[in-house]
Structure 1
Amino acid sequence: MLAGKRILLIVGGGIAAYKALELVRLLKKAGATVSPVLTRAGAEFVTPLSLSALAGEKLHQDLFDLGDEAEMGHIQLSRAADLLVVAPATADLMAKMATGRADDLASTLLLATDKRVLVAPAMNVRMWTHPATQRNLATLRGDGVLMVGPDEGEMACGEYGPGRMAEPVAILAAIDAALGGGPLAGRHVLVTSGPTHEPIDPVRYIANRSSGAQGTAIAAALRDLGARVTFVTGTAEVPPPQGVTVVRVETAAQMLAAVQAALPAEAAVMAAAVADWRVANAAGQKMKKDGTGQPPALEFAENPDILATVSQGAQRPRLVVGFAAETTDVLAHATAKRARKGCDWIVANDVSPATGIMGGSENAVTLISAEGAESWPRMAKDAVARRLAARIAEALA
């Protein structure tokens, strides 16, 4: 997919900048044209001559290069490429991207572009895990910026943990996926996410504590592998990802209708926290206290079982993945749910209040299939999403 493609490569300032030279070589070997941009900090680690020589293209460093800016060169440069790649993406560059700063050539190109952007973060482990960096990361993901890495390992500073820039081969694969050559390219995947709200009256409703963060991350991860994603979401706390088809719903009945309308699909990931029950006698007007001290009598009816309907329906996807959020006997309940619903996989997790998982930024899941149960370590929900997306790609290959 890279032959004839133009990549605008922005090299940030970090010890990992040396890997950018190998990335240029791999891109050229794959038939891509590379336009290199080197930040001032990046020039402390690699020379302009080496980067330009490997790319075989003019190197760009200064925003106010008169020869280029006479024709608004930074606009043309940012839009002539098929993809912008930032490698390494330092904490400073990511902060500029998240806040819309444009005080040098690199940040101006990133703000002026109308093309997709892929970043390969690289920084000290403490910088990576700092709340400010994680907030910026969440903002960038919400804006549709693609991510590859970082890896976990020993740092140049001697510390160990996440923050190492992904290897050039992995970045090359991510670039290929971003340009439509990913393992899920051309495949339609349906993802449900978020809670459903079941009205009691026009003001009140029954809901649950789901934030929608895990489902949103899964939709983004599948998109990053090239899938065409239909994202059916309830009223979630987190915004939907860019680059997917978003269908907003409120109730379980609306979600079922949206899911059925989105089929057929090759895979369905049913991550939504759907209310099991709805109020059958929901009031048309706001309920008022009547002075008797007696609460209103609410009658409940069972909601449609969306996972079972999809798993057992005539338009069943090749792969159906359900979720089981439990507070007791997680494996037993989730295993029974997989058999009862008829889905292929169940992603089970313990959402007891002490875990902090429901509404939190991390998850600890067990993937249950016909082959057995596979427990994954606790990790960020984005990492869970990427791992699950990779398994889905393998299953559909």
Structure 2
Amino acid sequence: MKNEKKNGFFSWLNSKIRKNKVLDIKKNNQEKIENDNTLSNDIIANQKKEYLESNTNICISENVIIPKEEIIEKKDVIENLSSNLEKDQQKKMNFFTRLKKSLKKTKNFLGDGINHIFLSKKIDNALFEELEEKMLLADIGINTTNRIISNLIKDVNRQDLKNSEKVYCVLKKNMYTILQNVEKPLEISDHMTFVILVVGVNGTGKTTTVAKLAQKYKLEGKSVILAAADTFRAAAIEQLQTLGKLHNIPVVAQRTGSDPAAVVFDALKSAKSKKKDILIIDTAGRLHNKLHLIEELKKIVRVIKKIDPAAPHEKMLIVDACNGQNTIQQTEIFHQALNLTGIVITKLDGTAKGGVVFSLSDQFNIPIRYIGIGEKTQDLGVFNSKEFIRAIFNEI
């Protein structure tokens, strides 16, 4: 098939016009399409892939911008892209709805509490003192609270704000900015194999989170393998194997009491030989003040680097929101030892201490990859600072 010269123009088409054009062009070019057997299935598949990658900015709805010379050959791809966009949007809406319900305790304590302060007080020192107390009780932390209050007072003086409602909006904007700085979703590179090392203290939900991540990536079309490097906790290996079997995801494991570094070595070798896209390593929970256990994590990293100097590509800390300000010390120790690249905050649905998210963001500036609001796979969502603020302050 000869390539036709592209005119480079785009047209706004509603669904009805697009359908008529497709039928007319398809009728005129039917013979040409049927007789053209020169493209193999692989080439066609590559064309579709290239189209998706180069047209992700096109909004497909009743009003559509599409290259009109590609309407026929790419019609099925356009329709699939439209369907995928709608599904993604629906997933985001569903997660935001669940997020609002799950953050109810934090909203009642922090969001509603702050709102009440601004509704019942004039702008004076008493208001800022009450605001400070509310933030501290919500586990935002003294350093972050002081910074938020100080910046708010500066904004009030600079802008000469007298209206409490305007000051309230400035406060929410400042809090949003703190979270926005760490809103950096994890991007799985094309590196073969992408290694995610998962660490944290006991009871934060590491193994459950590992299974959720594995299922999430599998649904995105990636091949995943798990490493059961928690060889100390009773039944930890069996738990991961059961979760892996449930989602049909392979698990590399050894017997209880084995050297975790040896398990990781075998898992990475297996992942690379089988050309798996992602290896997720589940490590044993360890108290941040047990230095010999922290050193064991460093050993695991050294073993990984012997096979792949660029790995692990993600060093992910799992923290339990219910632990409040204790997560600050935990994060500090693990960050010093491993130079963390990401954080997952779990159990936000069961605590009024969701304010710790602001403290973690402000003090460490480590990207928050995901937040957990329940036990199901769909309850692990990509962190979105705007949605988080809206959920806490009960905004639509």
TM-score, length basis structure 2? 0.36
Bigger strand share: 1
TM-score, length basis structure 1? 0.36
The structure with higher relative contact order (CA 8 Å, sep 6+) is 2
